[in-house]
Amino acid sequence: MTDLSTNYMGLQLRTPLVASASPLSHELAGIRQLEDAGASAIVLYSLFEEQIRQDVRESEFYLHAGSESCAESLTYFPTPVDFRVGPQGYLNHILRAKDAVNVPIIASLNGSSFGGWTGMAKRIEQAGADAIECNIYFVPSDMNASSADIEKSYTDIFRAVKHSVDIPVAVKLSPFFTNMAGMAKRLDEFGADALVLFNRFYQPDIDLEHLEIRPNVLLSTAQDLRLPLTWIGILYGRIKANLAATGGIQSGQDALKLLMAGANVTMMCSSLLRHGAGHIRQVEQEMTEWMDQHEYGSVRQLQGSMSQLRCPNPSAFERAQYMHAVSRMPARIV
């Protein structure tokens, strides 16, 4: 029987198919469905730094808006003793998720600045999360900020989180660094247990009818796996941190490619949102069938087999092959 098991940040997983942070984990029922469908670990939906801050400010503002103004209505809301602003709901969710399923639960902290929110990591650990995925996401719109400053903020945030907990901490990054490999190396040196490559870049859209900027998250397609495939292939074997591939995994073949590039796990989101949690089962089946047909005994056997270090043509990951590919492009693509 094909052995699909893998190790991710010290967590022994039945398969490399992990559900990445998505609305599917908002409800316990969704989390149970993911486990039932075969997810070997579940990254919970993200707790956003802004959410923590905004929750606190909002509750402070709206609960007091208009108060102590009119003699008849000195306040407008009751003030329950047990009032949990900010992340409490998220922490409870971790607790309940741990009770509900057997697979590891990875909490996701999403932020962009160094501050009190990183203290949340400890509370996440106490709530029972098996690991933390630290999704550092920054849109550097400040023209006066240097690249070094921006990159330092990533490592500062990571170190603050890592320092406060004993459970493994993964870092989810965007690919937009001048030296992606160098960034990976630094995070690796600071003790990142894994790098999750990559998060979806937020690109707003314009609503022409209403002349407004609309938030718009595009679901990934199979083409999107090329970017993580490239960087996982390059990084595999060069850093200690584990590698998780995310973005564009639609089929068993997609997952296999990323594992061969060097991923310890492959994370799925868009395809599950499109097809439902049950899609994991199909991907797993496709993987098994392919591995059976091609006589692979285990995932460990193929992991990294096509990385830059181990593949037949290492230069294919670099500029030489880019030139080659471009020069072979037809003049007109129909």
Partner 1 sequence: MSRNSKIMDANEAVANVAYRVNEVVAIYPITPSSAMGEWADQWAAEKLPNIWGTVPHAIEMQSEGGAAGVVHGALQTGSLATTFTASQGLMLMLPNMHKIAGELTATAFHVSARTLATHALSIFGDHSDVMSCRTTGWAMLCSNSVQEAMDMALIAHAASLESRIPFLHFFDGFRTSHELNKIEMLTPDDMRALINLDRVFEHRARGLSPDHPVLRGTAQNPDVFFQSREAGNPYYAACPKIVSDVMDKFAQRMGRRYGLFDYVGAPDAERVLVMMGSGAETVEQTLEQLNRQGEKLGLVKVRLYRPFSVEAFVRALPPTVRSLAVLDRTKEAGASGDPLYLDVVNALHEAGRSDGLRSAARIVSGRYGLSSKEFTPAMAKAVFDNLTSDAPKNHFTVGIIDDVSHSSLEYDPEFSIETASAVRAIFYGLGADGTVGANKNSIKIIGENTSNFAQGYFVYDSKKSGAVTISHLRFGPEPIRAPYLISRANFVGCHQWIFLERLDMLGSLTEQGTFLLNSPYGPEEVWKHLPARVQAQLISKKAKLFVIDAYGMARETGLGSRINTIMQACFFAISNVLPPEEAIAAIKEAIRQSYGKKGEDIVSQNLKAVDESLSHLFEVTVPNAAAGEAAQLTAFSSEAPQFERDVLGTIYAGRGDDLPVSAFPCDGTFPTATAKWEKRNLALEIPVWDPKICIQCGKCAMVCPHSVIRIKVYDSRELSRAPATFKSTAARDKEWQGLNYTIQVAPEDCTGCGICVDVCPARNKSAARLKAINMEPQPPLCAAESENWRFFLQLPEVDRRKINLTSIRQQQLQEPLFEFSGACSGCGETPYLKLLSQLFGDRAIVANATGCSSIYGGNLPTSPWAKNAEGRGPAWSNSLFEDNAEFGLGFRLSVDKQAEMARELVLELSASIGDELAMAILCALQEDEAAIYEQRERVQALKSKLQVLDSAKARQLGSIADALVKKSIWIVGGDGWAYDIGYGGLDHVLASGRNVNVLVLDTEVYSNTGGQASKSTPRGAVAKFAAGGRPARKKDLGLMAMSYGNVYVASVAMGAKDEQTLKAFLEAEAYDGPSLIIAYSHCIAHGINMSTAMSGQKLAVDSGQWLLYRYHPERADAGQSPLLLDSRAPSKRVEEFLSQQARFKMLARSNPEVASRLWKQAQQDAVDRFRLYEGLAQQQTSDHKDKQPAQP
Interaxial angle between packed helices 226-235 and 252-261, expressed in degrees from 0 to 180 and rounded to the nearest 10: 30
CB of 274 to partner 1, least distance (A): 19
* Cβ nearer to partner 1, comparing 65 with 139: 65
CB of 95 to partner 1, least distance (A): 11
Rounded-to-integer distance, Cα 133 and Cα 121, Å = 10
* Cβ nearer to partner 1, comparing 54 with 288: 54
CB of 178 to partner 1, least distance (A): 32
* Cβ nearer to partner 1, comparing 67 with 223: 67
CB of 136 to partner 1, least distance (A): 19
CA 64 to centroid of chain Cα atoms: 37
CB of 30 to partner 1, least distance (A): 12
* Cβ nearer to partner 1, comparing 71 with 333: 71
* Cβ nearer to partner 1, comparing 77 with 201: 77
CB of 54 to partner 1, least distance (A): 10
Lookup result for tokens 């037809």: 330
Q: What are the b/e assignments for 178-210, b being 16+ CB within 10 Å?
A: eebeebbebbbebebbbbbbbbbeeeeeeeeee
Output the CA–CA distances (angstroms, integers) from residue 212 to 140, 194, 201, 206, 217, in the order listed.
Answer: 22, 38, 20, 6, 16
- The residue ranges that bind partner 1 (CB under 8 A) are 27, 52-53, 55-86, 88-89, 92-93, 115-116, 119, 211-212
* Cβ nearer to partner 1, comparing 117 with 317: 117
Q: What angle do CA 268, 194, 109 make, to 5 degrees?
A: 70
Rounded-to-integer distance, Cα 53 and Cα 86, Å = 7
Residues in contact with 202: Cβ distance below 8 Å, sequence separation at least 6, in sequence order: 137, 139, 215, 217
CB of 152 to partner 1, least distance (A): 22
* Cβ nearer to partner 1, comparing 53 with 275: 53
CB 93 within 8 A of CB 23: no
CB of 34 to partner 1, least distance (A): 18
Dihedral sign, CA of 164, 241, 264, 271? positive
* Cβ nearer to partner 1, comparing 77 with 322: 77
Q: What are the b/e assignments for 12-23, b being 16+ CB within 10 Å?
A: ebbbbbbbbbbe
CB of 87 to partner 1, least distance (A): 9
**Which spans in 10-167 are helix H?**
28-37, 49-64, 88-100, 120-127, 147-164
- Written as one string, the DSSP assignment of 245-261 is EES---SHHHHHHHHHH
* Cβ nearer to partner 1, comparing 68 with 166: 68
